[in-house]
């Protein structure tokens, strides 16, 4: 279509879409002339082949059917036919013969500035978004997260941005239960969270980032470290529990219930950051994602212990609304987060098979 900057041909049309002629309108300024262009088609653009406007632009520029045809990549007869249709549509000869070639009529001269403006706008519409340059861009992204993501991914993300995209700002916001609605409203540019039912709703795009597993942490010197580590002994301990939504029950409770066991939650907290510091000073046991443990344990007097029973892990997803799927800036941010997730330090390697027998860690902890 001729609205592109590199357009090469006009589609011939022989239909009956021409509207009745419109009277020339007088006035000053491009705004009135632009209105005249629209009014000339009797406000019925559906009956106008917009490619004809590109032909008119070339004819006004070159003052020659032959030269305009060469520029547009058309035959001379096709260009002459387009001029005839333009004259019928606009109700004016538009170009008339003179000793030096074709010269525009008064109507055509009046339309020319608005024609150029209108075609420039339409070319921008069909040309697509400009290329995103992260090195020079000034942009803010709002990302829906929880403190798990902030701890595991954000340090590496900001380190990358400082060197490759210094003008990019990232604002983190805690998301509520209905993440799909929040993305639909535009509360976040994207979100990162665990894979849950409802994430695959219409209009929401997702991309897995990584798989996560659970480990247990206790303080160094904990009485349980020199004893047999079984599901029963695990259930008898007092537990700390991360409950982001303030509700009881989770993967550990489900796994225990499947074995006919239950545990006492002595402390429930909404955030991952505080719990390890509490566990380091008490006899509580905490079950938490491996990557969180890998980040915090080196800085605290804690020991990592594999769960003594199978506890299903979870998958972390990146989620966004489909309306930004093809926006270059958003695509760049998604690719950056994918790269960051791949660089995150691997989880602490602990094997649950070691928990089948006695796990004596006293030598490591004393």
Domain containing residue 232: CATH number: 3.40.190.10
Predicted TM-score (pTM) of the model is 0.67
* Count of domains observed in the chain: 3
pLDDT of residue 101: 84
Q: Ranked by mean pLDDT, which of 19-23, 54-58, 121-125 comes out on top?
A: 54-58
Mean pLDDT of 120-149: 88
pLDDT: is 73 or 348 the higher one? 73
Residue 269: inside a domain: yes
The residue out of 86, 107, 127 marking a domain boundary is 127
- Mean predicted lDDT score pLDDT of the chain: 83
pLDDT-based confidence at residue 42 (cuts at 50, 70, 90) = very low
Residue 2: inside a domain: no
Question: Cα–chain-centroid distance for residue 31?
Answer: 37
Q: Kindly tell me if the per-residue pLDDT of 198 is higher than 80.
A: no
* Percent of the chain whose pLDDT exceeds 70: 81
Residue 234: inside a domain: yes
pLDDT of residue 199: 75
Statement to judge: residues 325 and 259 lie in one domain: no
Statement to judge: residues 157 and 283 lie in one domain: no
Q: Whole domain around residue 66: which residue ranges?
A: 30-127
pLDDT: is 236 or 194 the higher one? 236
Statement to judge: residues 52 and 184 lie in one domain: no
The residue out of 102, 127, 152 marking a domain boundary is 127
Q: What is the CATH number of the domain that holds 35?
A: 1.10.10.10
Statement to judge: residues 166 and 227 lie in one domain: no
Statement to judge: residues 320 and 335 lie in one domain: yes
Residue 4: inside a domain: no
From 34-43, 191-200, 309-318, the region with the lowest mean pLDDT? 34-43
Q: Kindly tell me if the per-residue pLDDT of 270 is higher than 70.
A: yes
pLDDT-based confidence at residue 77 (cuts at 50, 70, 90) = very high
Statement to judge: residues 44 and 192 lie in one domain: no
Statement to judge: residues 324 and 185 lie in one domain: yes
Statement to judge: residues 278 and 361 lie in one domain: yes
pLDDT of residue 29: 54
Residue 20: inside a domain: no
Residue 46: inside a domain: yes
Mean pLDDT of 163-189: 88
Residue 18: inside a domain: no
């Amino acid at each position: 279509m001729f609205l592109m900057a590199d357009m090469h041909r006009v589609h011939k049309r022989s239909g009956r879409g021409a509207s009745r002629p419109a009277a020339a309108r007088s006035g000053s300024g491009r705004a009135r002339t632009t209105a005249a262009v629209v009014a000339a088609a009797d406000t019925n653009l559906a009956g106008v082949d917009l490619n004809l406007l590109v032909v008119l632009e070339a004819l006004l520029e070159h003052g020659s059917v032959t030269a305009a045809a060469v520029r547009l990549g058309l035959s001379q007869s096709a260009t002459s036919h387009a001029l005839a249709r333009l004259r019928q549509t606009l109700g004016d000869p538009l170009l008339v013969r003179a000793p030096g070639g074709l010269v525009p009529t008064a109507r055509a001269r009046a339309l020319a500035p608005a024609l150029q403006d209108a075609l420039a706008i339409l070319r921008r519409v069909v040309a697509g978004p400009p290329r995103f340059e992260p090195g020079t861009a000034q942009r803010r992204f709002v990302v829906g997260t929880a403190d798990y993501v902030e701890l595991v991914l954000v340090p590496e993300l900001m380190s990358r941005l400082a060197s490759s995209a210094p003008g990019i700002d990232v604002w983190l916001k805690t998301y509520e239960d209905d993440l799909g609605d929040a993305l639909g409203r535009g509360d976040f540019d994207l979100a990162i969270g665990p894979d849950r039912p409802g994430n695959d709703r219409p209009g929401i795009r997702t991309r897995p980032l990584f798989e996560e597993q659970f480990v247990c942490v206790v303080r160094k010197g904990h009485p349980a470290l020199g004893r047999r580590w079984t599901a029963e002994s695990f259930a008898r301990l007092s537990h700390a529990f991360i409950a982001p939504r303030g509700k009881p029950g989770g993967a550990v409770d489900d796994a225990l219930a499947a074995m006919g066991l239950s545990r006492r939650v002595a402390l429930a907290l909404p955030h991952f950051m505080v719990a390890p510091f509490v566990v380091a000073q008490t006899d509580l046991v905490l079950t938490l994602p491996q990557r969180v443990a890998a980040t915090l344990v080196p800085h605290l007097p804690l020991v990592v212990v594999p769960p003594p029973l199978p506890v299903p892990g979870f998958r972390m997803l990146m989620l966004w609304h489909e309306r930004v799927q093809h926006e270059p800036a958003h695509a760049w941010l998604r690719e950056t987060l994918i790269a960051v997730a791949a660089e995150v330090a691997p989880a602490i390697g602990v094997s649950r098979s070691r928990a089948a027998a006695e796990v004596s860690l006293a030598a490591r902890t004393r």
